[in-house]
Amino acid sequence: MNLQKNQIIELDITSMTAEGSGVGKTDEGIAVFVPQSAVGDKILVKILKTKKTYAFGKIERIITPSKDRKNPDCPYFNKCGGCVYRHITYDAEKKIKEQKVKDAVTRIGGIDERKIKPLISSDKFNRYRNKAQFPVGIDKDGKIILGFYAFHSHRIIDCDDCMLQPEIFKTVMDITRGFMTETNQQPYDETTGKGKLRHLYIRYGEKTDELMVCYVVNGNGLKQEDLLVERLKNALPNLKSVVINSNREKTNVILGSKNRVAFGQGFIYDELCGLKFKISPLSFYQVNRETAEILYSKAKEYANLSGNEVLFDLYCGTGTIGLSMARDCKQLIGVEIIADAIDDAKENARVNNIDNARFICGNASEAALMLEKENIEPDVVVVDPPRKGLEKDLIETIARINPDRVVYVSCDPATLARDLKIYGEHGYETQEITPVDMFLGTSHIECVVWMSRV
Ligand code: SAH
Instruction: Give me ligand 1 centre to Cα 212, in Å.
Output: 21
d(CA 136, CA 148): 9
Q: Which of 203, 272, 284 to mutate to test the pocket of ligand 1 (most atoms within 8 A of CB)?
A: 284
> Hey, whose CA ends up nearest to atom 19 of ligand 1?
337
d(CA 165, CA 128): 6
Catalytic residue among 83, 162, 411, 447: 411
Q: Which atom of ligand 1 is nearest to the CA of 284?
A: 13
Q: Which of 293, 337, 410 to mutate to test the pocket of ligand 1 (most atoms within 8 A of CB)?
A: 337
- Per 3-state DSSP, the chain is made up of helix, strand and coil in percentages (nearest 5) of 25, 35, 40
Report whether 355 contacts 326 (CB < 8 A): no
The answer to whether residue 80 is catalytic is no
CB of 290 shorter than 6 A to ligand 1: no
Q: What is the DSSP string of 175-233?
A: HHHHHHHHTT-PBP-TTT---SEEEEEEEEETTTTEEEEEEEESSS--TTHHHHHHHHH
> Hey, whose CA ends up nearest to atom 3 of ligand 1?
317
Q: Which of 336, 340, 415, 447 to mutate to test the pocket of ligand 1 (most atoms within 8 A of CB)?
A: 336
CB of 336 shorter than 6 A to ligand 1: yes
Instruction: Give me ligand 1 centre to Cα 140, in Å.
Output: 39
Strands 131-138 vs 144-149: parallel, antiparallel or unpaired: antiparallel
By percentage, how much of the chain surpasses pLDDT 90? 96
Q: Average pLDDT over the chain, rounded to whole?
A: 96
d(CA 438, CA 119): 10
Instruction: Give me ligand 1 centre to Cα 364, in Å.
Output: 9
Phi, psi (deg, nearest 5) at residue 439? -130, 55
pLDDT tens for the chain, 454 residues long, are 689 999 999 999 999 998 999 999 999 999 999 999 999 999 999 999 999 899 999 999 999 999 999 999 899 998 888 999 999 999 999 999 999 999 999 999 999 999 999 999 998 999 999 999 999 999 999 999 999 998 888 899 999 999 999 999 999 999 999 999 999 999 999 999 999 999 999 999 999 999 999 999 999 999 999 999 999 999 999 999 999 999 999 999 999 999 999 999 999 999 999 999 999 999 999 999 999 999 999 999 999 999 999 999 999 999 999 999 999 999 999 999 999 999 999 999 999 999 999 999 999 999 999 999 999 999 999 999 999 999 999 999 999 999 999 999 999 999 999 999 999 999 999 999 999 999 999 999 999 999 999 9
Burial of 439 (0-12, 13-18, 19+ CB in 10 A): buried
Rg, C-alpha atoms of the chain? 23
d(CA 12, CA 216): 44
Closest to 327 measured CA to CA, from 349, 298, 294, 295:
349
CB of 287 shorter than 6 A to ligand 1: no
Q: Where are the alpha helices (DSSP H) in 304-412?
A: 320-323, 339-351, 364-373, 392-401
Closest to 222 measured CA to CA, from 192, 206, 198:
198
Task: Provide the terminal-to-terminal Cα distance of the chain, rounded to the nearest Å.
Answer: 54
